[in-house]
Structure 1
Amino acid sequence: MTDEGRSRARAVEPEDLSRFVVERLNAGDVDGLVALYEPDAVLALPGGGAATGSSEIRAAYERIVAARPVFTPGKQLPTLRSGDLAMTSVLLGDGAATVEVARRQPDGTWLWVLDQPRVP
């Protein structure tokens, strides 16, 4: 792990992940984006399909940040929790939403397992 990776904030609540993804997308921080997911996580891709696992998620984010888009935070909706699982969602400015499933890690932090970044 790089020094940058060691100093990167970790999600102590599942809702932190949504804030971190916007910050890291805007910073072009692909390593930081991948660090928000479990190694075998699944990220839904625009137009269908999915990126499964760290390598595919990394490739997807490399394509996304290459265009240097600017992302704005949406409105965090209430989190639904069951034990070590949490379903988070954010209402986006255009009326679409995100839906994610996070899992509490052994150290108490949270990582995404499933990420659907856009539900019309």
Structure 2
Amino acid sequence: MDADVERAASPEDLSRLIVARLNAGDVDGLIALYESDAVLALPNGEVASGSEEIRGAFQRLLEGRPSFEPGTPRPTLRAGELALTSARLADGTVTVEVARQQEDGTWLWAIDQPAFTQPNT
């Protein structure tokens, strides 16, 4: 990972970082927020597994350079090295993610159930 890329010092950082990287169109930065074998739920009911499938999902999502608004964070639930994160989006839908603390103390998502509202184009 590029030493200049901000890493999540807490599970709560992940939501802020993903919105910033979505809006920047930074696919590599987005992939850096996930464990290499993470799973990402897709809007069509399918699942992207692993870095390459998740990369493809974000590349498709970012075609046309949409913009995204952050949701309102909900309380994080922690159990050891695991954390359940979530946010309520402007339209009332809720994201749900499972983050895991890494050996270096940073956090990455292992499971992501996003709820993207219609991006602003």
TM-score scaled by length of structure 1? 0.94
Match of 2:101 among 94, 101, 104: 104
Structure 1 alignment gaps of length 5 or more: none
Aligned residue in 1 for 2:119: none
C-alpha displacement of 1:65:
1.0
Deviation at 1:118, TM superposition (A): 1.6
**1:35-54 equivalent positions in 2, closer than 5 A:** 35-54=32-51
Give me the whole-angstrom Cα distance separating, in 2, the residues matched to 1:44 and 1:93.
20
Asked if 1:79 corresponds to 2:76, the answer is yes
Q: Calculate the aligned-residue CA RMSD, in Å.
A: 1.1
Q: CA deviation at 1:67?
A: 2.2
Counterparts of 1:82-97 in structure 2 under 5 Å? 82-97=79-94
TM-score calculated relative to the size of structure 2: 0.93
Q: Identity over aligned residues, as a percent? A: 63
Count of equivalent residues: 116
State the distance in 1 between where 2:26 and 2:69 align: 16
| Aligned pair partner of 1:31 in 28, 49, 61 | 28
- The gaps in structure 2 that reach 5 residues or longer are 117-121
- 1:117 partner amino acid: P
Q: Deviations over 1:30-82 (max 9, x none)?
A: 00000000000000001210100000000100111112111001100000000
The one-letter code of the counterpart of 1:11 is A
